[in-house]
Copies of this chain bind each other. A is one copy, B any other.
Amino acid sequence: MRLRDETKERTIREKAIEMIVREGFDGLSMQKLAKAAGVSPATIYIYFQDREDLIRQIYYEEMLAMSAETLAGFDPGMHFEEGMRVQWMNRARYCLKYPMRMHFMEQMRHSPFHEKFQGDARNPFSVAMKTFVLNAIERKELIQLPLEVYWSVAYAPLYQLIKFHQSKTGMPGWGKFVLDEKTLEKTLELVLKALKP
């Protein structure tokens, strides 16, 4: 019995991400992907049921990887400020280390795929986050607010900053923006100021 060449699946996954980032979901065709991965179109269908399953699987894998990296060194029982700092640094590090994957996820999250796949995506992440927030509120290290408001104030600015950083042109009319350690830290301070009692 012939064994699977696991590098083939990896290559397919990576090339798919590249294609989607470069040309959007429009640009992801199975035949072009096969060519890019140096593989026959039929081979893709050994590893994935169909095009949608391919996208779904990449999405799940990426979600897990991001969650894991985000929760590294994090404990839901941590003090608020420390926990926030760990998460900010983890997220920033991941996004800057894997800009392709990050871009892919951003594209995913704003496409109709997101709602379609969300139901069966069980990231270990929401639970930890919820516990962390409730703890922090109880300890009076964080003001009382709905989870969605917390999320919006706590992390949306970070992702927007990263998007500015990764944008080639920056804001139209403004120059190129570079996100350095200091700016990151300063922005985190602002967010903490908003959220602490």
Contact = CB atoms under 8 A, between A and B. Distances in A.
A177 B113 contact: no
A186 interface: yes
Nearest to A153: B157
A183 B115 contact: no
A152 interface: yes
A74 interface: no
A57 interface: no
A7 to B, nearest CB: 27
Interface string A49-88: 0000000000000000000000000000000000000000
A177 B146 contact: yes
A42 interface: no
Contact of A152 (B25, B164, B195): B164
Interface residues of A, number: 57
A160 B148 CA distance: 9
* A interface, over-half SS: helix
Given A148-B174, A149-B187, A153-B157, 6 more contacts: A110-B110, A126-B172, A147-B174, A148-B164, A152-B164, A190-B194
Interface of A: 21-27, 106-107, 109-113, 115, 118-119, 121-123, 126-127, 130, 143, 145-149, 151-153, 155-161, 164, 167-174, 177, 183, 186-187, 190-191, 193-195
27 contacts: A22-B112, A23-B112, A24-B25, A24-B111, A24-B112, A24-B113, A26-B26, A27-B112, A107-B110, A115-B168, A115-B169, A118-B169, A118-B172, A119-B169, A121-B172, A122-B172, A126-B171, A126-B172, A145-B186, A147-B171, A147-B174, A149-B183, A152-B158, A152-B161, A152-B164, A156-B160, A193-B194
